[in-house]
């Protein structure tokens, strides 16, 4: 299969929890690039989801790369387990880490890709001094905690600014966006600077998953053709 310049990660949060194994296989058949796992602790975000055990249980159902998004306080406590469960990318929230640099080092030491996620209100300067250690920056395009929310339009400018910083600082990291991503805004976010789209409702939430992924990819590539960066 041809490599697309923009990666599409499907958020398991929107999958059918009663048959997750099947959903993971369905995602692979539909042409997804990764599975995105939203871990929530009911403290950092006002919702609970699942832990590393679910990630581990799904590892044998697909060969898609696993991308863990930790919306929890003390994320350091789950890193080892998530790596053992087969996660290839681990993202922690800047707002959830008192010692962000240490958390990133912990992830890197486990030999996987390290990412930092930023809530909509968090400035990009909060990752300025850890940028060179990062493999991924996740700009949240909704307030984290729930699927099915609307994309916050003001985040387009934030994505553009983040891309500018990555270019200027010559940092080779994914710029991911997560929350409210649909075929209607995919081209715009990619055009602004994103190269990894996380989508739940617009993928698992639709009856024809293959068609949903194809539509997202088509729009993402349309945006990529017009990118400024
Ligand atoms: C939100 C999560 C997202 C969520 C996205 O806290 O981080 O990954 O599943 O869901 P949609 O695509 O429905 O906005
Ligand atoms: Zn997420």
Q: What is the position in ligand 1's atom list of the atom closest to the CA of 145?
A: 6
Q: Tell me which residues are annotated as active site.
A: 38, 178
How far does the centroid of ligand 1 lie from the alpha carbon of residue 178, in Å? Answer: 6
Q: Which helix (H) or strand (E) segment is 38 a member of?
A: strand 34-40
Residue ranges in the chain modelled with pLDDT below 50? none
Ligand 1 touching residue 198 (CB < 6 A): yes
Task: Choose which residue among 198, 203, 209 to substitute to test ligand 1 binding: the one with the highest number of ligand atoms within 8 A of its C-beta.
Answer: 198
How far does the centroid of ligand 1 lie from the alpha carbon of residue 66, in Å? Answer: 15
Predicted local confidence at residue 2, as pLDDT: 62
Ligand 1 touching residue 148 (CB < 6 A): yes
Burial string for 109-147 (b: 16+ CB within 10 Å, else e) reads eeebbbbbbbbeebebeebeebeebbbbbbbbbbebbbb
Q: What is the position in ligand 1's atom list of the atom closest to the CA of 13?
A: 9
Predicted local confidence at residue 3, as pLDDT: 83
What's 7-225's CATH class? alpha beta
Look at residues 91, 41, 81 and name the one whose alpha carbon lies nearest to residue 57: 81
Number of Cβ within 10 Å of residue 80's Cβ equals 14
Ligand 1 touching residue 181 (CB < 6 A): yes
Q: Residues within 5 Å of ion ligand 2 by Cβ? A: 38, 69, 178
Domains of the chain, residue spans = 7-225
Cβ 95 vs Cβ 119: under 8 Å: yes
Ligand 1 touching residue 14 (CB < 6 A): yes
Number of Cβ within 10 Å of residue 72's Cβ equals 21
Ligand 1 touching residue 46 (CB < 6 A): no
Say how far apart CA 87 and CA 52 lie, in whole Å.
9
Q: What is the position in ligand 1's atom list of the atom closest to the CA of 182?
A: 12
Ligand 1 touching residue 87 (CB < 6 A): no
Q: How many residues does the chain have?
A: 229
Q: Which ligand gives the minimal distance to the CA of 89? A: 2
How far does the centroid of ligand 2 lie from the alpha carbon of residue 176, in Å? Answer: 10
Cβ 174 vs Cβ 182: under 8 Å: no
């Amino acid at each position: 299969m041809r490599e697309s310049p923009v990666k599409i990660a499907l958020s398991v949060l929107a999958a059918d929890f009663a048959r997750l194994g099947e959903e993971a296989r369905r995602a692979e058949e539909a042409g997804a690039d990764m599975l995105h796992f939203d871990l929530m602790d009911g403290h950092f975000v006002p919702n609970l989801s699942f832990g590393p055990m679910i990630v581990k249980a799904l590892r044998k159902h697909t060969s898609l790369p696993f991308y863990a998004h930790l919306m929890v306080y003390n994320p350091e406590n789950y890193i080892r387990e998530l790596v053992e469960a087969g996660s290839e990318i681990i993202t922690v929230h800047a707002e959830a880490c008192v010692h962000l640099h240490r958390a990133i080092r912990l992830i890197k030491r486990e030999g996987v890709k390290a990412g930092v996620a930023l809530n909509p209100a968090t400035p990009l300067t909060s990752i300025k001094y850890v940028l060179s250690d990062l493999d991924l920056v996740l700009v949240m395009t909704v307030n984290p905690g729930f699927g099915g929310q609307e994309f916050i339009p003001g985040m387009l400018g934030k994505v553009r600014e983040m891309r500018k910083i990555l270019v200027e600082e010559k940092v080779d990291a994914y710029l991911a966006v997560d929350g409210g991503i649909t075929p209607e805004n995919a081209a715009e976010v990619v055009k602004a600077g994103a190269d990894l789209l996380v989508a739940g409702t617009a993928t698992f939430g639709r009856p024809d998953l293959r068609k949903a992924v194809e539509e997202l990819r088509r729009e993402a590539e349309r945006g990529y053709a017009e990118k400024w960066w």
